Chain A
Amino acid sequence: MKRKKIGIIDVFIWIVVAITIIWVITPFYWAVITSFKKPVDVFRLSAIPWVQFHPTLENWKMEFTQRGPELFRGISNSIIIAVFASLIAIAIGTFAGYGLARYKYRRWKNQNMAFWFLSQRFLPPAATVIPFFLLMKTINIIDTRLALILVNTTFTMPFAILIMRDMFRELPNELEEAALVDGCSRFGVFWRIALPLAVPALVSTAIICFAFAWNEFLFALVLTYKNATPMTIIIAGTEHTQGVQFWYVSTRLLMAIIPPAILALMVQKYIVRGLTLGAVKG
């Protein structure tokens, strides 16, 4: 079908590839070069380092020396919140995923339960942000990392449950049945046979959860103001204090953008499932 027109179509595809790559890369590229520019060069159309402007490390030095403590706090908060949230989500999610994949529940049917978990993907954060704020004020955990860990666990758990359910369903059941016949307990089967086989999926799911938790903004904005502020809030604050000093702003943007972007590159195999909560296998 395509063989005849190969020349024209190929040229067209490569043009689209080039445009798409430029379209995707440009904003990132612009942030990177801006962070190495002197203020004078920021407001000129200069894109090629050493040719159109002389790169400087000044902004990064300033960032780490003058505003180091604030930055360090932001990064460590983000890491702690995202790590713990994804760990809890993956732990509870793996259990539930295994249960949904291997048992037939009678009181609530499996499919209904799966959709019940899925329905949280449709829940607008705005609907729970006000009660969370009021309840957390009542129990006095506003502006703690704990508050954001709980929130992000809640948001990422449906992903973990549905992806892990899928993964366990694709593992062959025979191995587990054989172990059951040999007298292994159901929990032992889960722990010794199913779980080790699911490790690659487990790690990928955890990474996806980590990225979501890292990028969360609305709840961080409402529930933290000083001690527990993650990177997303730090960059929002930079806007207000630094304004159009884009050479500083860009250094922080990059520090917020890079960790999840790099992690995303590691989970390509599971990304389609992750994004559609298992509806589309990719």
Chain B
Amino acid sequence: MKEKGNVFVVPAIVWVFIFTIFPLLYSFRVSLSSVSYGKITGFAGIANYLRMLSDYRFWSVLRFTFLFAAISVTATIFLGLFLAVLFNRKMRGIKFFRSLMTMPLFTAPVALGYLGVMMFYEESGPMNLLMQTFGLGKAPWLSQPGWATASVCLVDIWQWTPFAFIILLAGLQSISDEIYEAAVLETSSGWHVFRYITFPMISPVLGTVLMLRLVDAFKVFDIPFSLTSGGPGTATRTLTFYIYTQGLRNFDLGYASAMAYVLLIITMVIGLLFYQRYHGLYE
């Protein structure tokens, strides 16, 4: 009977081998090859990997990706935690509020990017018109590197704050009332309750949110593609964006595959950290 169980898992395992493992191995081979016009022409060793070291565009793209991840992940988690702590109480309409908050999560990021183009349109878009009514003048939302970075982050934060909120709220709600009641007997400070009871108890959930958000932030492509096209110039190009441009627009497939492996290593490191700390959640 034990052996029969294989029937259940084998299809999934085979699927992963065909559609994930095999493409990854193939891509590793491509990353070690010299490629011209989409055809592998020869073995290149680690030349593609060495090329990154002297490619200033790669470094600027990598810098932006880290910057974006840092800003966006920090902001979503703080905002999400703030909202979750605030709404972790019995109140009417919380279900409606939670449902409303899930809507951004299920909106195509690429659609949000174009929605952002509409909102941030510099000549008489709503954001600038609103700022002008308050006498703040126009902001170069999409045409100045600093502001464009802010816009990309803002759209991402808008979309993913609900993610942190919903999951952290679920984490908070799983802490039983008795623990709080006991804590209240000990201290009257809300901050102490949060610092010594709430925070330690939701830290695994917080860790899960952090890891998932980090991974998604490093993979981001849709929003910069649609909102700023990576611009102005190349100021808001992410690593995935650069891989896409090099590999599938300029057909420099070897180099793009090598960069994709760097991205893979970054996300796998995050994944391993996650596994180390939270494998218990999946046992």
Which residues of B78-127 are within 8 A (CB) of A? 83, 86-87, 89, 91, 93, 95, 97-112, 114-119, 121, 123-126
Q: Is the CB of A122 within 8 A of B268?
A: yes
Determine whether the beta carbon of B12 is less than 8 Å from that of A161. Answer: yes
Pick from A126, A161, A162, A238: contact of B239, CB below 8 A.
Answer: A126
Residues of B with C-beta under 8 A to A154: 15-16, 19-20
Q: Are A130 and B253 in contact (CB under 8 A)?
A: yes
Of the candidates A16, A105, A126, A275, the one whose C-beta lies within 8 Å of that of B86 is A16
CB atoms of A157 and B167 under 8 A apart: no
Cα distance, A257 to B112, chains bound together (Å): 9
Q: Which residues of A contact B6 (CB under 8 A)?
A: 99, 105
* Interface of chain B: mostly helix, strand, loop or mixed: helix
Residues of B within 8 A of A132 (CB): 23
| SS class, residues of chain A in contact with chain B | helix
**A204-239 at interface with B (beta carbon < 8 Å):** 211, 214-215, 217-218, 221-222, 231-232, 235-236, 238-239
Is the CB–CB distance between A131 and B27 below 8 Å? yes
The segment out of B41-49, B66-74, B143-151, B213-221 that lies at the interface is: B213-221
B105 surroundings in chain A (CB, below 8 A): 264, 271, 275
A96 close to B167 (CB less than 8 A) = no
Instruction: Please tell me the number of chain B residues within 8 Å of chain A, measured between CB atoms.
Output: 108
Which of A56-64, A68-76, A110-118, A171-179 contacts its partner?
A110-118
CA distance A135 to B9 in the complex (A): 26
Minimum CB–CB distance from A27 to chain B (whole Å) comes to: 5
Interface string of A259-282 (1 = CB under 8 A from B): 011011100100110011011111
Whether A126 touches B170, Cβ cut-off 8 Å, given contacts A27-B158, A236-B110, is no
Instruction: Determine whether B174 belongs to the interface, using a CB cutoff of 8 Å to chain A.
Output: yes
Contact B267 A44 (CB under 8 A): no
Q: List 14 A-B contacts (CB under 8 A).
A: A27-B112, A45-B129, A115-B275, A117-B12, A126-B219, A126-B221, A129-B260, A131-B27, A137-B38, A215-B110, A239-B117, A244-B121, A271-B166, A279-B208
| Residues on B facing A (Cβ under 8 Å) | 1-2, 4-9, 11-13, 15-16, 19-20, 23-24, 26-27, 30, 38, 83, 86-87, 89, 91, 93, 95, 97-112, 114-119, 121, 123-126, 129-130, 133, 158, 162-163, 166-167, 169-171, 173-174, 180, 184, 188, 190, 193, 205, 208-209, 212, 215, 218-219, 221-222, 225-226, 239-240, 243-244, 247-248, 253, 256-257, 260-261, 263-264, 267-268, 270-271, 274-275, 278-279, 281-283
Chain A residues with CB under 8 Å of chain B are: 1-2, 13, 16-17, 20-21, 23-25, 27-28, 30-31, 34, 43-45, 92-93, 95-96, 98-100, 102-106, 111, 113-135, 137, 150-151, 153-154, 157, 161-162, 186-187, 190, 211, 214-215, 217-218, 221-222, 231-232, 235-236, 238-239, 244, 246, 249-250, 253, 256-257, 260-261, 263-265, 268, 271-272, 275-276, 278-282
